[in-house]
A and B are shown apart, each in its own frame.
Chain A
């Protein structure tokens, strides 16, 4: 997995690819791009994931059936690579409780060896007392730019959690 920007878990600061350090509410702004991540999807992880969720669907397991149904290969579970997006949101929010909602469309099948980059950009920031409510546009794409997932997410971040640095 590659990661743009650097993170420090000890002090909950983020240094993004743009070089910003987020420590207080005023540093979070509309248009801000969250650090992205890129994962290479493996056949092994798809098969493991299928076992974990009860393996009911041959398009995730059986190459022959997947091809008969019109796919190039077995396809990754959407929920598996949706986590690539919640991962960057959680990293940014600083705590698992920071993600309130995600609403996405899964647009294209993801195959073994695809490289998927998860991205998010802040669209609105609303401050209520010490609580910031942030909405993001979120998406993921293949190495050739093909959109895989697209949608929105809502985060809530308490200001004190971000200024503890």
Chain B
């Protein structure tokens, strides 16, 4: 991979977190906590990794970035993850993800790429910081 692209930012992605997404996500991760499952609740909170899952939406941009030169034929595995939640995420939130490449390194036969997703709400206040490392090779 081309280390010159460290610092590169990817186009912002904005999405609205719907109640349907939250309920479907809670089912698939088998999280039975009523905070994430009560359809009639005034506030329906999102399971903690949901917003992080959306930072995965950055990955296709990264994988297909010719300037970066990641070989999509190799195994791409998620090996490290940090999330910092500034506030709980809930259905109805309109969130914008700004993604950038933070680090590229080599170790043995593998290459590692770390990217950071800054997730903010409509007012631009930080909601979650996600730092993800993928192993390629």
Residues of A at the B interface (CB closer than 8 Å) are: 1, 9, 39, 45, 48-49, 52-54, 56-57, 59, 69-71, 75, 77-80, 82-84, 86-87, 89-91, 95-97, 99-106, 109
Which of B29, B57, B59, B76 makes the CB contact (< 8 A) with A59? B76
Q: Check if B30 sits within 8 Å of A102, measured CB to CB.
A: no
Residues of B with C-beta under 8 A to A9: 34
Binding-face segment, B3-11, B46-54, B95-103, B118-126: B46-54
Is the Cβ of A1 less than 8 Å from the Cβ of B33?
A: no
Tell me how far the C-beta of B19 lies from the nearest C-beta in chain A, rounded to whole angstroms.
14
13 A/B residue pairs, CB under 8 Å, sorted by A? A1-B30, A9-B34, A54-B60, A78-B77, A87-B29, A87-B33, A96-B45, A99-B48, A102-B81, A102-B82, A102-B83, A106-B79, A106-B80
Known A-B contacts: A79-B78, A87-B33, A100-B84. Give 7 more (CB < 8 A): A39-B30, A52-B25, A59-B75, A75-B77, A82-B81, A86-B49, A109-B77
Q: Could you tell me the distance between the alpha carbons of A97 and B87 in the complex, rounded to whole angstroms?
A: 6
Contact partner of B53 (CB less than 8 A), chosen from A70, A79, A96, is A79
Q: Which of B25, B29, B79 contacts A105 (CB 8 A)?
A: B79
State the Cβ distance, B100 to closest chain A Cβ, in Å: 19
Contact partners of B65 in chain A: CB under 8 A: none
Partner pick for B76 among A57, A89, A97, CB 8 A cutoff:
A57
Indicate which residue in A52, A75, A86 contacts B24 across the interface (CB closer than 8 Å): A52
A7 nearest in chain B by CB position: B33
- The majority secondary structure among interface residues of chain A is mixed
Most-contacted residue by chain A among B59, B82, B83 (CB, 10 A): B83
B78 and A96 contacting across the interface, CB-CB below 8 Å: no
- Contact: A77 with B78, CB < 8 Å? yes
Chain B, 18-65, CB within 8 A of any chain A CB: 21, 24-25, 28-36, 45-49, 52-54, 56-57, 59-60, 63
Q: How far is the CB of A118 from chain B (nearest CB, A)?
A: 11
Give the nearest-CB partner of B88 in chain A. Answer: A96
For A102, the closest partner residue in chain B by CB is B83
- Give A71 Cβ to nearest chain B Cβ, in Å: 8
**Chain A: CB-nearest residue to B64:** A56
Residues of A close to B33: CB separation below 8 A: 87, 90-91
| Chain A, Cβ-Cβ closest to B31 | A87
B75 is contacted by which of A69, A86, A95, A102 (Cβ under 8 Å)?
A: A69
The smallest beta-carbon distance between B33 and chain A, in angstroms, is: 6
Q: How far is the CB of A47 from chain B (nearest CB, A)?
A: 10
Q: Once bound together, how far apart are the Cα atoms of A83 and B33, in whole Å?
A: 12
Complex-state Cα separation, A86 to B25, whole angstroms: 14
How far apart are the CA atoms of A9 and B56 in the complex, in Å? 32
A39–B60 CA distance with the chains assembled, in angstroms: 29
List the 3 shortest-distance A-B pairs measured between CB atoms, nearest first: A86-B48, A96-B88, A78-B78
